[in-house]
Chain A
Amino acid sequence: MRGPDQLNRVVLVLVSLLLLGAGGYALARGYEAFGAEQADDEVLLEPVRDFVGRYQTLFWIAVLAVCLIVAYLALRWLVAQFHSPRLTQIDLTADGSKGSTQLRAAGASDALASDIETYRGVSSASARLVEDGERPEVDVRVDVNDDADVPGLRTRIEEEALPRFSRALEVRAVEARLHLRLTEPAPRLVR
């Protein structure tokens, strides 16, 4: 699953279970599953009214806090629909150094993509760094011509482009996720 799909699935399943639980309880109570007397109770139950009346200030402060938390979490969920993790800067400062060296992540990943694009059989490539640290993570998408040797191309990326990329980042190795897509075979030029 890509992007926020997994998160969407989890949240939507939770919401559906919440709806089913609330609706199921109301239906069961309305159709006298807990007895005729309970079915004829008013929806806003007396114990609930008593509780709210007794702790009025505290109750509404708690509701306000819950609403704001839900709104904040929902906002993050909303943002996740349009945003995928991407690093903007990579820290290349050497241990014990007084200054700091920052590398623009897009520049490094663009260089990796350009490197891969020079390989025979590749029609286009893109890369983005998703995690920094000892072993940075990079997400690479490559459009491969249908007539190319796909496993061979994968090996070449892993054995040439990625080690070069690691050296540029001054790390021992990177962890890559390669997403390959077969496209139309390259047009044959006739002279």
Chain B
Amino acid sequence: MRILSRLLALALALSLVVGGVLVAVEIVLAEIGRDPWVIPYDQWYRSARVNAWSSPSTRQLALVLVAAGLLLLLLQLVRRRPTALPMERGASIHAADLNRRGIERSLVRVVNRVDGVASAKAKISNSRTRITASSNRRIPGDLEARVTRAAEERMAALKLASPPALSVRLQSPGSR
């Protein structure tokens, strides 16, 4: 989502630079009596004189504007996952944070080391850390509790300012 926003920003900024300069050039050219160079403003003028607000082409254009605006707005309002989580400030005068992906990978490594876990995934959002562990054991016993304990210990050791609440899900042959 962040990459898409950057690409959109790049495209829009480039269009505004080119568009702004082109309009300025067209104004100067028109002033010295030259025909339109790139922007067919004479056709646009005629169309704006001929078409009414209720004409299908005007409504279609308005619909496109509304759809584009809505899409862009929704894209910006979507809550993104944090890139980094702030660490406890404590007595420190400097701000510090820990990269989110690094923490997720660290949690996966920790959970994978728990006896009985075959594979694990970790995903941190704004308010929650979700860990999904898979086991080949038919009777997992206290495996979920051990996975939770390992993940909690790891998160506690990182001294995050507000660690996202942990939720652990265990998938085993018995639970499927």
Are B27 and A158 closer than 8 Å at their CB atoms?
no
Binds A, one of B58-66, B145-153, B162-170: B58-66
User: Among A30, A151, A179, which residue has its beta carbon within 8 angstroms of that of B54?
Assistant: A30
The 0/1 profile, CB within 8 Å of B marked 1, for residues 142-176 of chain A is: 00101001110011001000100000000001011
Q: Does residue B139 face the partner (Cβ distance < 8 Å to A)?
A: no
Are A18 and B52 closer than 8 Å at their CB atoms?
no
Are A12 and B20 closer than 8 Å at their CB atoms?
no
Are B23 and A12 closer than 8 Å at their CB atoms?
no
CB of A48 to closest CB in B, whole Å: 9
Q: Does residue B97 face the partner (Cβ distance < 8 Å to A)?
A: yes
Are B17 and A74 closer than 8 Å at their CB atoms?
yes
CB of A74 to closest CB in B, whole Å: 3
User: Among A63, A149, A178, which residue has its beta carbon within 8 angstroms of that of B95?
Assistant: A178
Binds B, one of A92-100, A111-119, A180-188: A180-188
Q: Does residue A78 face the partner (Cβ distance < 8 Å to B)?
A: yes
Are B98 and A44 closer than 8 Å at their CB atoms?
no
Q: Does residue B31 face the partner (Cβ distance < 8 Å to A)?
A: yes
- Bound: A42/B27 CA distance, A: 24
CB of A58 to closest CB in B, whole Å: 13
The 0/1 profile, CB within 8 Å of A marked 1, for residues 17-32 of chain B is: 1011101100110110
Are A177 and B12 closer than 8 Å at their CB atoms?
no
Are A19 and B69 closer than 8 Å at their CB atoms?
yes
The 0/1 profile, CB within 8 Å of A marked 1, for residues 101-116 of chain B is: 1110110010000000
User: Among A8, A9, A75, A177, which residue has its beta carbon within 8 angstroms of that of B94?
Assistant: A177
Are A23 and B63 closer than 8 Å at their CB atoms?
yes
- Bound: A78/B14 CA distance, A: 7
Question: Which residue of B is nearest A24, CB measured?
Answer: B66
Are A158 and B94 closer than 8 Å at their CB atoms?
yes
User: Among B73, B99, B105, which residue has its beta carbon within 8 angstroms of that of A17?
Assistant: B73
Are B97 and A178 closer than 8 Å at their CB atoms?
yes
Q: Does residue A68 face the partner (Cβ distance < 8 Å to B)?
A: yes
Residues of A within 8 A of B106 (CB): 146, 182
CB of B61 to closest CB in A, whole Å: 7
- Bound: A155/B96 CA distance, A: 11
For the complex with contacts A22-B62, A30-B59, A60-B30, 13 further pairs of A-B residues with Cβ separation under 8 Å are A5-B6, A8-B9, A13-B76, A19-B66, A27-B66, A30-B53, A40-B52, A74-B17, A77-B16, A81-B10, A146-B109, A180-B97, A182-B103
Which A residues have a C-beta under 8 Å from some C-beta of B?
1-2, 4-5, 8-9, 11-13, 15-24, 26-27, 29-32, 38-44, 60, 63-64, 67-68, 70-75, 77-78, 81, 144, 146, 149-151, 154-155, 158, 162, 173, 175-183, 185
Which B residues have a C-beta under 8 Å from some C-beta of A?
2, 5-6, 8-10, 12-14, 16-17, 19-21, 23-24, 27-28, 30-31, 45, 47-55, 58-59, 61-73, 75-76, 83-84, 87-88, 92-99, 101-103, 105-106, 109, 157-159
5 closest residue pairs by CB, A with B = A71-B20, A23-B65, A19-B69, A74-B16, A26-B62
